[in-house]
């Protein structure tokens, strides 16, 4: 059996990878994009090859006929995010990758074994095959305890979903210098480091089945209640009925439109921005890397204005921790409404206006059980940071869930969320990230 | 306890309802539509109120950049299809409705307890509330062993899905003259009558959980193998992996476009039709009914050219029946690819060109275990008839499932399909209809 790791501690390896993967990302005007351009008819921002993604327009029509417009990223194909897992000395280890993405604040983040586009795994354009792909695609695939299609940000992506996989292997696996076997308990612990574990890794970890979770180690009152939340709550059938109630009340009229027709947005040389300064901008960058297969490239990125926040409010009911889950509409979600954290503020939102959030912004430190700034997908988003939090409310915190606002919220256990995350279209990307974070608190 | 039924036999009641629900449906030119019209910009066919549905255009772009266009029905909201179930003398009875729909070949079909639009159940326009709705929506809802969002025809509907519900009641329920308690075993038997059980009833019956199915009665070799198929096949996880493989190979670039821009289709006074005479037409009708809340109305309908076919090929492997399931792309499906019957030919398709179908068109009668012509949704489709069949192949029938075509097919058991139908986005509408038909063969 191959050794799981050298004797180098994780942080030494990480630092060394950082030195070896230097790269430079610079803002450029759209006119300096190579292969990318605004289509003559409609003005969508596309690549000449038809590959990669496009920036198009989105029209959202509400029940009363009012319209809202915005740019949105459209990539009508399914990517593959996979973590290879092998057990060494009884402990599952994940083969993680130190990977550069142009939108990352800090260049490298800890990424899944494989992040592959459809072109990568089908090799339709004869390009190079990502390392370790053979374990996830084709006849050589191993046993997959996680294999599920999951959504991504419905505010920024049109109908984007990726295949989330965990594949278990027994045989010898050569470890490339950018890869490293990380024990699963240590990997979950790394979620507490700002901007380290990337979004693609988090969404996969959020799909972990109960059988793969490390044994509980925490024995304080919060830990006991959290542990009980993994055992309690039979069936999520009623929660699905509630989700359908929320979906049923809405009318979901969203459609792609030409980028030129997004009213309220203006294209300048270096950015496409909302006239009212809200939301995000579309920008362009040049990437110089000493390490990627393509040594230099240019691409558009979506740059949120300021940082966001994603919070699960939790409370102890009896001996069990419950999470206040929101059924949340996002215009780009394929199925319109998915289960989300209690509060999710996009960049620069007025946190005070978000239900339940105002009261906890100044919560005591001992009620904040998780609080880490983590990055969203660096291949598409520029410096998109989200502050992920798990905040405990007093046991008598009891919002009115029959009010017009409250109807979109429901108390659920971790076990119920884990049952639902086995299928797509149920938990949104931030809920899955926070589920991974909860796994780190056991 | 209320009697389940009067002493009138089902067919006498059905005949009597037919006499009481006379109505007349006539073709009219689009200009005679009341409240409906072609929008000045883009030409979509819509209702002035913004309610009901719209006929818009759809553009399907394939991997090599080729485009196909067609009209498609767009209704961005979720309808509710519900059957109320109550047990009399130990036998579950379904409260079924004799319901007229304008597109029905034969006016009345046997329909669920409730078919409600969003306007119906929210009463946003103050309209009349459908009978029995209170059992399915709001605080009075009963226990729901089935409550799931399911897709409808992806060739004719854009992203249409409806909420399928079965609700169990114990108390007294007044029975309206158009409604009748039908014992579940009898209802499944009625699936063998041409054009009697409507599509909305079939999709709900296709979602029946194992615990609600009547006990098996059939003891011949086919019946035994079918029965075993309800007990065999642990987990559908591998089948979901295969479904994701099929989804992953495609690029799914479909979008709504203005109806005016559907190349290859021409609008005349009385119909919108493909220039090559294929597929379907969009027509308009006037409906005069003595029975509906609105005594007379006009509306567009989608009229397929000729009848379709939906077939499950099955074979015995050992003592268990297996079904050859297709992972099938349809442009209007929200998630692009769902599990479908082995063969599904739209109207006027050349059956000979459909994989596996050519050889069975002249199958011996003793191999055809189910063969009934059933109607698709009469509220949207005009005389849309599908011949549903279950045809048994010899045990040595063993198509190559590694070939380019074969990769889209997989042998599955009834149990595996029943596990998947608990969630949306997995089984398409014809597969669910045929699952209900299989329940009738036990």
Which residues on B lie below 8 Å from A149 (Cβ)? 244, 247, 335
Tens-digit pLDDT profile for residues B186-216: 999 999 999 999 999 999 999 999 999 999 9
Three-state DSSP state, B63 = coil
Angular region, A195: left φ>0, alpha ψ -120 to 50, beta rest:
left
Query: Residue B432: helix, strand or coil by DSSP?
Result: helix
Closest CA to A201 of A98, A119, A345: A98
pLDDT at B124: 60
Chain A residues touching residue B50 (CB < 8 angstroms): 65
- Band of residue B365 on the pLDDT scale cut at 50, 70, 90: confident
Q: Does B335 touch chain A (CB under 8 A)?
A: yes
Put simply, the answer to whether B248 touches A76 (Cβ < 8 Å) is no
Q: Which residues of A348-368 are buried (b: 16+ CB within 10 A; e: fewer)?
A: ebeeeebebbeebeebeeeee
Residues 15-54 of B with CB under 8 A from A: 50
Which DSSP helix (H) or strand (E) runs through B308? strand B308-317
Average pLDDT, chain A: 92
Binning pLDDT at 50, 70 and 90, where does residue B138 land? confident
* A351 pLDDT higher than 90: no
pLDDT at B109: 97
DSSP classification of residue B107 = S
Select from A50, A78, A247 the Cβ nearest to the Cβ of B248: A78
pLDDT, averaged across chain B: 92
Give the dihedral of Cα atoms A211, A212, A216, A222; nearest 10 deg. Answer: -90
Integer Cα distance of A283 and A102 in angstroms: 12
Q: Are A283 and A369 contacting, i.e. CB atoms less than 8 angstroms apart? A: no
* H-run or E-run covering B125: none
Question: What local confidence, expressed as pLDDT, does residue A63 receive?
Answer: 81
- Listed in sequence order, the residues at least 6 apart from B45 whose beta carbon sits closer than 8 Å to its beta carbon are B30, B36, B37, B38, B39, B54, B55, B56, B259, B282, B300
Minimum Cα–Cα distance from B64: chain A residue: A50
B101 or B51, greater pLDDT: B101
Do B78 and A244 count as a contact with CB atoms less than 8 A apart?
yes
Lowest mean pLDDT among A95-99, A233-237, B296-300, B410-414: A233-237
Of residues A245, A299, A304, A234, the one with CA closest to residue A101: A299
Q: Give the mean model confidence (pLDDT) for residues B278-307.
A: 88
Q: How do strand A343-345 and strand A308-317 relate by DSSP bridges?
A: antiparallel
Q: Tell me whether residue B109 is in a domain.
A: yes
Show residues of chain A in contact with B163, CB under 8 Å: 244, 248
| Nearest-angstrom CA–CA distance, A209 and A143 | 14
B42: left (phi over 0), alpha (psi -120 to 50) or beta: left
Contact A163 B244 (CB under 8 A): yes
A143 forms bridges with which residues in the sheet?
Answer: A168
The span from the CA of A258 to the CA of A242, in Å, is 35
pLDDT of residue A440: 97
Q: Which residues of B touch A121 (CB under 8 A)?
A: 248
Domain membership of residue A187 as a residue range:
6-442
Long-range contacts of residues B128-137, Cβ cutoff 8 Å, at least 24 apart? B128/B293, B131/B176, B131/B179, B132/B82, B132/B84, B132/B95, B132/B173, B132/B179, B133/B80, B135/B82, B135/B84, B135/B167, B135/B169, B136/B80, B136/B82, B136/B165, B136/B167, B137/A245, B137/A248, B137/B80
Please report the pLDDT score of residue A1 as a whole number: 39
- Residue B242 forms part of a structural domain: yes
Least confident among A60-69, B143-152, B180-189, B296-305: A60-69
- What pLDDT shows up at residue B349? 60
Asked if A394 and A120 touch (Cβ cutoff 8 Å), the reply is no
* Structure confidence by residue, pLDDT tens digits, A243-273: 999 999 998 899 999 999 999 999 999 999 9
Task: Find, among B415, B81, B427, B145, the residue nearest to A237 by Cα.
Answer: B145
Interface of B with A in 230-259 (CB under 8 A): 237, 240-241, 244-245, 247-256
Contact (CB<8Å) B118/A248: yes
Which of A187-196, A340-349, A384-393, B380-389 bottoms out in mean pLDDT, i.e. has the lowest?
A: A340-349
> Does residue B28 register a pLDDT over 50?
yes
The pLDDT of B78-98, averaged and rounded, is 97
| E strand or H helix that includes residue B436 | helix B429-439
Query: What does the pLDDT read at residue A121?
Result: 86
Question: For residue A251, which residues of chain B lie inside 8 Å, CB to CB?
Answer: 76-77, 118
**Is residue B351 predicted with pLDDT exceeding 70?**
no
CA-based nearest distance B394→chain A, Å: 28
CA angle (B381, B385, B387) in 5-degree steps: 150
Q: What is the rounded distance in angstroms from the CA atom of residue A66 to the CA atom of residue A64? A: 6
Chain A positions touching B425 (Cβ under 8 A) are: 335, 424-425
Report yes or no on A284 lying in a domain.
yes
Length reported for chain A: 442
Nearest CA in chain B to A250: B77
Contacts of B250 in chain A (CB under 8 A): 77
Give which of A245, A241, A223 is closest to A314, Cα–Cα: A223
The string of DSSP codes covering B198-252 is -HHHHHHHTT--GGGSPPP---SHHHHHHHHHTT----SHHHHHHHHHHHHH---
Tell me which of B6 and B105 has the higher pLDDT: B105
A contact residues 117-136, partner B, Cβ 8 Å cutoff: 118, 121-122, 124
How many domains, in total, are found in chain B? 1
Are B248 and A80 inside 8 Å of each other by CB?
yes
Side-chain-side CA neighbours of residue B352 (13 Å):
0
Looking at residue B1, what is its pLDDT? 39
Judged by average pLDDT, the poorest of A327-341, A400-414, B125-139, B294-308 is B125-139
- Is A424 an 8 Å CB contact of chain B? yes
Looking at the partner chain, which of B50, B65, B121 has a beta carbon nearest the beta carbon of A248? B121
Contacts A239 to B, Cβ<8 Å: none
Q: What is the CATH number of the domain that holds B358?
A: 3.90.79.40
For residue B1, being part of any structural domain is answered with: no
Q: Could you give the C-alpha distances from A351 to A304, B142, B143, in angstroms and in order?
A: 16, 38, 38
Two tokens at A326?
């929101």
**How long, in residues, is chain B?**
442
- What is residue B270's three-state secondary structure? coil
Q: Which of A65, A122, A252 has its CB closest to that of B77?
A: A252
| Å between A248 CA and nearest CA of chain B | 5
pLDDT for residue A123 is more than 80: no
pTM for the full model? Answer: 0.94
Poorest-pLDDT segment among A427-431, B48-52, B324-328: B48-52
Task: Tell me the chain B residues in contact with residue A252 when contact means C-beta distances shorter than 8 Å.
Answer: 76-77
Record the tokens describing residue A161, joined without a space.
Answer: 């979903």
pLDDT band at A64 (very low <50, low <70, confident <90, very high): confident
Helix (H, G, I), strand (E, B) or coil at A292: coil
pLDDT beyond 90 at B50: no
Examine the pLDDT at B100 and tell me if it is beyond 50. Answer: yes
Average pLDDT over residues A97-124: 91
- Which two structure tokens, joined as six digits, stand for A30? 């759209």
Which of B304, B330, B257 has its CA nearest to residue B58?
B257
Q: Which residue in chain A has the smallest CA separation from B162?
A: A248
Do B265 and B70 form a contact (C-beta atoms < 8 A)?
A: yes
Rounded to an integer, the average pLDDT of B426-435 is 98
Q: What is the ipTM of this complex?
A: 0.93
């Amino acid at each position: 059996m191959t050794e799981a790791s050298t004797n180098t501690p994780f942080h030494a390896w990480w630092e060394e990878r950082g030195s070896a993967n230097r790269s430079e990302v610079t803002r450029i005007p759209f006119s300096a994009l190579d292969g990318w351009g605004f289509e003559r008819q409609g003005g969508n921002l596309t690549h000449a090859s038809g590959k990669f993604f496009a920036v198009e327009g989105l029209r959202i029509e509400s029940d009363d006929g009012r319209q809202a417009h915005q740019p949105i990223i459209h990539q009508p194909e399914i990517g593959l995010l996979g973590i290879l897992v092998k057990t060494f000395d009884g402990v599952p280890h994940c083969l993680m990758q130190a990977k550069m993405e142009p939108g990352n604040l800090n260049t490298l983040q800890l990424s899944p074994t494989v992040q592959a586009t459809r072109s990568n795994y089908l090799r339709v354009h004869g390009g190079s095959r990502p390392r370790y792909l053979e374990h996830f695609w084709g006849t050589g695939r191993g046993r997959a305890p996680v294999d599920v299609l999951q959504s991504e940000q419905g505010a920024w992506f049109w109908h984007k979903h990726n295949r989330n996989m965990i594949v278990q292997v027994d045989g010898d696996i050569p470890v490339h210098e950018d890869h490293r076997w990380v024990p699963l308990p240590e990997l979950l612990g790394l979620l507490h480091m700002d901007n380290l574990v990337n979004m693609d890794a988090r969404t996969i970890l959020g799909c972990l089945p109960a059988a793969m979770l490390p044994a509980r180690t925490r024995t304080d009152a919060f830990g006991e209640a959290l542990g009980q939340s993994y055992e309690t709550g039979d069936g999520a059938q009623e929660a699905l009925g509630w989700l359908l109630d929320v979906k049923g009340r809405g009318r979901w009229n969203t459609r792609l439109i030409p980028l030129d027709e997004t009213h309220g947005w203006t294209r300048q040389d270096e950015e496409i921005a909302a006239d009212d300064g809200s939301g995000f901008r579309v920008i362009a960058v040049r990437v110089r890397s000493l390490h990627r297969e393509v040594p230099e490239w240019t691409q558009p990125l979506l740059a949120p204005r300021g940082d966001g926040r994603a919070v699960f409010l939790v409370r102890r009911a009896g001996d069990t921790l419950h999470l206040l889950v929101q059924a949340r509409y996002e215009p780009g979600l394929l199925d319109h409404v998915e289960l989300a954290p209690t509060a999710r503020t996009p960049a620069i939102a007025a946190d005070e206006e978000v239900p339940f959030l105002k009261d906890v912004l100044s919560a005591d430190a001992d009620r904040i059980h998780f609080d880490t700034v983590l990055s969203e997908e660096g291949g598409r988003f520029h410096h998109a940071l989200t502050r992920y939090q798990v905040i405990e409310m007093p046991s008598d915190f009891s919002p009115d869930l029959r009010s017009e606002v409250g109807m979109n919220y429901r108390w659920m256990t971790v076990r119920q969320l884990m049952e639902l995350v086995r299928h797509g279209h149920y938990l949104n990307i931030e809920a899955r990230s926070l589920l991974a974070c909860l796994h780190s608190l056991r």
